[in-house]
Structure 1
């Protein structure tokens, strides 16, 4: 089997993580999650190697220098995120297609690197107010970090047209059904 990449990208609060978790639970024998590496502080509920590979800034920069990333980005000042090539290969070696939950720039870099072997899906919500509500409900944002994220949302939305598919997430049940259809069609192609 030739492995494929299924990339979900979206601004914060658009629901991409919920969609990815649903797909991974539904298609456990076909799909596996690509765990990203990052330099940000681990949240209390996160597990190293499951949610992210938490690296020091020095370790991350060394892996950049050694060309160990399929893509990487300084998403916020001092916070780097990236996809290790070894992570993709590890999952392909298990006979799985690799699913990504990555920021917009990372998603586009993966699509560029892997071409037709990758499906890039942009998840969006129709209103900024809905995104603001979702982010605030997490309870993890300060007023300053919320303002930063909302500014980034506006910027990331400008890349929507560069993705293979756009998935509107205003009705979760409908969105999950459409995501399933997209993934199955791509895997079979």
Structure 2
């Protein structure tokens, strides 16, 4: 079982640390946006006028537009989310986001030069005008291939990611199992503090 540190690294590095391999016959708007996202991200990463902190800052701004941290956080907690107070929800989302960013920050830029992603022209039968699953194939720097798909929903003119499945394993489900154990042992505030501690540990 992957630790939630590894899950956190995976969701962000899969989103950020990629080079685009062209795919033809992309028809769904979510597929087209995924391809556009990758082009924009790589433009930031390959901009030699920016230092690494500046690149990370811009990537974070981009992620805010395309990753729904609030929904990912709520899904990752699952049913216990209803027990959170409004303040605890705010604190958890902030701690969750900070942990995700801190975990990937020192690795994403390096990994970006060594992995490739192909957006596949495969359409899910569940795709609608407001919901979509975008399938990709990722090749890492060791030439190992991974099937990764993104669950997305339309918000205004933007498609937002709320879950990522890697080789059939749902990131939010992995989190849910692990966060549930922490809540049982340490309570809600204990989980929030655990995320904060993890952020400090990886900085």
Decide: shared fold, TM above 0.5: no
Higher helix share: 2
Q: State TM-score, norm by structure 2.
A: 0.25
* Structure with the largest fraction of strand: 1
Q: TM-score, normalised by structure 1?
A: 0.26
* Larger Rg belongs to: 2
